[in-house]
């Protein structure tokens, strides 16, 4: 279980989060929907402790992560994979070395086991043939999939995705959506996905929340999205209906 309780966050005079309350049960695929600038990425970074709230609590498996020493926070972070919006690959390192990095830093496995784990996740994202390529040689979609492989290599319980389908082609977007679904349903990974992509949202989500005005305005199971009467949420649904009509 991940839980945010009355989380507030400001940057200078700009108040981004104004009292977020959110529970994420184990095994769920939760999508945090919202417009650009709504604070979705800020909320996501609170969950992994990259940002601390000005007020409120962030609870991961019963532990308030803002009230523990860095050494204990590190142990909790090992259970959380994070896929950054820009992939955040190291340009000077090969695909293999980028994916292996979390295991190398941990220093608990021998080289053969590290290679086995890296090849396992590269196969999962269909990039096993790209292990010796450099990030500059990859397309945007390939970079996203390498970032997902790196997030998975330490076998986390939770994976947080920041705009996983932004700036990539529709075919690759669908492959990433399928991968998120597979990890959630077949492997049991708890997924938290930040996006403004309503098509991806309705493909992958068990539950959808709308972040707007610094608070959670809508919290709904996917099968009940058509019943939500919030005007902003309905704007996202209208976009989806328009796209389906074009198809």
pTM score: 0.90
Query: Does 42 have pLDDT greater than 90?
Result: yes
Mean pLDDT calculated for residue range 144-173: 89
Domain boundaries defined on the chain? 1-79+166-247, 83-155
| pLDDT the model gives residue 247 | 45
* pLDDT tens-digit series, residues 4-34: 999 999 999 999 999 999 999 999 999 999 9
Please, what CATH class does the domain formed by 1-79+166-247 belong to?
Answer: alpha beta
Reported as a single tens digit per residue, the pLDDT across 200-247 is 999 999 999 999 999 999 999 999 999 999 999 998 888 777 766 644
Beta strand 190-195 pairing with 158-162: parallel
From start to end of 63-222, where are the E strands? 63-64, 80-83, 158-162, 190-195, 207-212, 215-221
**The pLDDT value given to residue 244:** 63
């Amino acid at each position: 279980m991940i839980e945010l309780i009355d989380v507030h966050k400001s940057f200078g005079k700009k108040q981004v989060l104004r009292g977020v309350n959110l529970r994420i049960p184990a095994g769920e695929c939760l999508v945090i929907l919202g417009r650009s600038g709504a604070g979705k990425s800020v909320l996501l970074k609170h969950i992994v402790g990259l940002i601390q709230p000005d007020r409120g609590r962030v609870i991961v498996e019963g532990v308030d992560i803002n009230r523990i020493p860095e050494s204990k926070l590190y142990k909790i972070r090992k259970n959380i994979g994070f896929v950054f919006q820009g992939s955040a690959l190291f340009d000077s390192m090969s695909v293999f070395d980028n994916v292996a990095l979390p295991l190398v830093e941990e220093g608990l496995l021998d080289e053969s086991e590290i290679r086995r784990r890296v090849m396992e996740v590269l196969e999962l994202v269909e990039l096993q043939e790209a292990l010796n390529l450099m990030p500059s040689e990859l397309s945007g979609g390939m970079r996203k999939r390498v970032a997902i492989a790196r997030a998975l290599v330490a076998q986390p319980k939770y994976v947080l995705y920041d705009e996983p389908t932004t700036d990539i082609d529709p075919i690759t977007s669908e492959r990433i959506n399928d991968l998120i679904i597979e990890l959630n349903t077949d492997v049991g990974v708890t997924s938290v996905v930040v996006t403004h992509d309503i098509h991806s949202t309705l493909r992958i989500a068990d539950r959808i929340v709308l972040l707007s005005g610094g608070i959670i305005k809508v919290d709904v199971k996917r099968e009940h999205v058509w019943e939500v009467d919030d005007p902003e949420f309905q704007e996202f649904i209208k976009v989806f209906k328009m796209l389906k009509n074009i198809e």
